[in-house]
Amino acid sequence: MSKPLKRSFFERSTLEVAPELLGKRIILRKNKKKQRTGVIVEVEAYTSNDPACHAARGKTPRNKVMFGQGGVTYVYFIYGMYYCLNFVTEKKDIPGAVLIRALEVNEEDTRIASGPGKLCNYLNITKEHNEIDCCNIGSPLIVTNNNYRDNNFSIVQTSRIGISKAAHLPWRWYIKNNPGVSKL
């Protein structure tokens, strides 16, 4: 049984946490026996005072989880057909989150989780998975350390995808040359 990352990992600056999530493993438990996993290979950071962040204009029913403690999921529905998975960062009352954009998975189709909507489909993540505390042992959704490529990989930092506000900020990170990354 793998140990979940501690709350102290998540309750730091969003811009520190985001690249450190690369190479970590997401484990989604369906029941006692079945689970699905993938290694995070692409992330984006969304912070307070960031015009592209859902929390930029204050607390609302949808984004309130971002104002809570770190290590909790923020899952939202977008474009009428996709879900996106985030992990809340920063301490309580400071909004922030990291969008998980792509996973490397052990499947024949290496690009089956190569995008924020695609990885939620792959893991069967829906609105039911919003506001899950990932720091508890026994949580249905956790993030763990692993020895992904002995943690020797190059990280590319660039601008975020699919946003119209603050599009110039270089708050997207991905693992160089990884086939699961959503876009170059």
Partner DNA sequence: TGCTGGATTATC
Partner DNA sequence: ATAATCCAGCAA
* Footprint of DNA (CB under 7 A): 44, 46, 52-55, 57, 60-63, 66, 74, 76-82, 84, 86, 97, 99, 101, 115-119, 160-165, 182
Total residue length of the chain = 184
Q: Give whichever of 57 and 168 is closer to DNA, judged by the CB atom.
A: 57
Task: Find, among 125, 154, 151, the residue nearest to 140 by Cα.
Answer: 125
Based on CB atoms, which residue is closest to DNA, 11 or 50? 50
Name the residue nearer to DNA (CB basis): 152 or 183. 183
User: Residue 183 Cβ, how far from DNA at the closest point, in Å?
Assistant: 8
Reference 95, options 156, 135, 51, 148; nearest CA is: 51
Alpha carbon distances (Å) from 88 to 39, 55, 151: 18, 11, 23
Phi, psi of 80 (to 5 degrees): 70, 0
Residue 147 identity (one-letter amino acid): N
Cβ proximity to DNA: between 64 and 146 the closer is 64
Output the smallest distance, CB 32 to DNA, in A: 29
The amino acid that residue 57 corresponds to is R
